[in-house]
Amino acid sequence: MTDILVAGETLVDLLPNPGETLHDVDGFTHRPGGAPANVAVGLSRLGATPAFWTRLGDDPFGDFLRETLDREGVDDALARRVDGNTALGVVSPPGVDDRRFRFYGSRDVTFGFDPDAVPTDALATASWVHLGGVALTRPTGRRAMRELAAAAAERGCTVSFDVNYRPDLVPAGDRDAVVDAIRDILGDADVAFASDEDVAATGISADEGPELASDLLTHGPHTAVVTLGAAGAVAASSPAAPWGETTARHDGFRVDAVDATGAGDAFTAGLVALLSGVTDADSPALDGALAFANATAALSVGERGGMTALPDREAVEAFLAARR
C-alpha cells in the first residue's frame, strides 16, 4: 500500500448516556475522536498505516489520545504536544434535531496548527496526503493546511480533502476567510469529500447529490465524493482521474445502527485505503471503491464511539462477500 500522510485534529468525544436532550443525560463516556484521527486509525486498521500530523494537549486527555494512537499503530512521530487542554466534542443524543456536536476546551490547542511546523519533509516519502477541514476554523490552522496542501500538490502527491465545515467553530467575522481557505485547498486537491450540508453552509455550491459532485470538479479536484448518510454516496470524476471519467452511486447497506458518530470518517478511510493503491485505469472502478467505503461505514455504526468501532480490512471484505 502507498505511503499516506493524514493531517488534522485529534480530540475527545463525550458520548451521552441515555436521555432525550443533553439537559436530561446523567453522564458521558469519553472516546477518542476527531475526523482526521478517525481516518488515520481507520486506515491503519485497513492495512494502510499512515503518518499523522496532529496536535495533542498536555493534559490527561492528551495522554489518553497519544496512548490510543500508539495502540492503533498510527505513526505519530509528527504529533505535537502543546501547552493547554484538549478540545472536547460533546455529542447530542440520537434524534436531537439541533447541533450534532458542541465543542468545548481549547480550540487553538487542538485546531491551531503551526504554519512553521508544516511537515514538508514527510512529503518526500508520501504519495497521498489527506487533510481535514476543521483546522481551517483557526487562523494558524488555515495557513498551515493551505501550505501543506500546496506543498503536497507541488511534489506530486495525491491530495484528498474533507471539507467538514463546522459553522459553530467559526468565530464571528471569520466565515469568509474559512470559505476562501476551503476554495484554495480544493484548488490543490485531487479528491474532495463533502456532504450537502457542508457545501450549503459555505455557499460554494447550491447543488446537491450527483449535481454537487459534478460541480465540485469545477473547483479543482479530479474526483469529488458526496456522502449521503444512510443513503450511501455519489461520486464524479474527470478525465484527469487515474480511474477515468465517470459517475458512480452506491446506496449503502442496511444495518442496525447503534451510533453513527464517525461513520463518514470510516467511509473516507475506506475510500482512501482502496484508491490510494490505484495506479492506472485498469484498477478497481470508482463504484467498487464506493461499495468498499460504504461497507466500512456500515460496520462502524455497530457500537458506540466513532474510532473504537472502525473495522479491519478482513471484516470489510467478509461483509462484502456475504452480500454478493
- In the structure grid, which three cell numbers stand for residue 131, read together? 487533510
Instruction: Specify the 3-state DSSP secondary structure of 89.
Output: strand
Q: Is 67 exposed, middle or buried (0-12, 13-18, 19+ CB in 10 A)?
A: exposed
Determine if residue 308 is left, alpha or beta; phi over 0 gives left, psi from -120 to 50 gives alpha, anything else beta: alpha
Could you list the active site residues? Answer: 265
Spatial distance between the Cα atoms of 13 and 89, rounded to a whole number of angstroms: 5
Spatial distance between the Cα atoms of 121 and 136, rounded to a whole number of angstroms: 22
Task: Look at the block and give the residue holding cell 495525491.
Answer: 158
Is 110:55 a contact under the CB 8 Å cutoff?
A: yes
Spatial distance between the Cα atoms of 51 and 190, rounded to a whole number of angstroms: 19
State the maximum Cα–Cα separation within the chain, in Å, rounded to a whole number.
Answer: 54
- Rounded to 5 degrees, what are φ and ψ at 216? -60, -25
**CB atoms closer than 10 angstroms to residue 168:** 10
How many CA atoms lie less than 13 Å away from 169 in the CB half-sphere?
Answer: 28
**CB atoms closer than 10 angstroms to residue 103:** 18
Is 36:10 a contact under the CB 8 Å cutoff?
A: yes
Task: Look at the block and give the residue holding cell 485547498.
Answer: 185
Is 224:217 a contact under the CB 8 Å cutoff?
A: yes
Helix (H) and strand (E) counts for the chain? 10, 14
- In the structure grid, which three cell numbers stand for residue 241, read together? 482521474
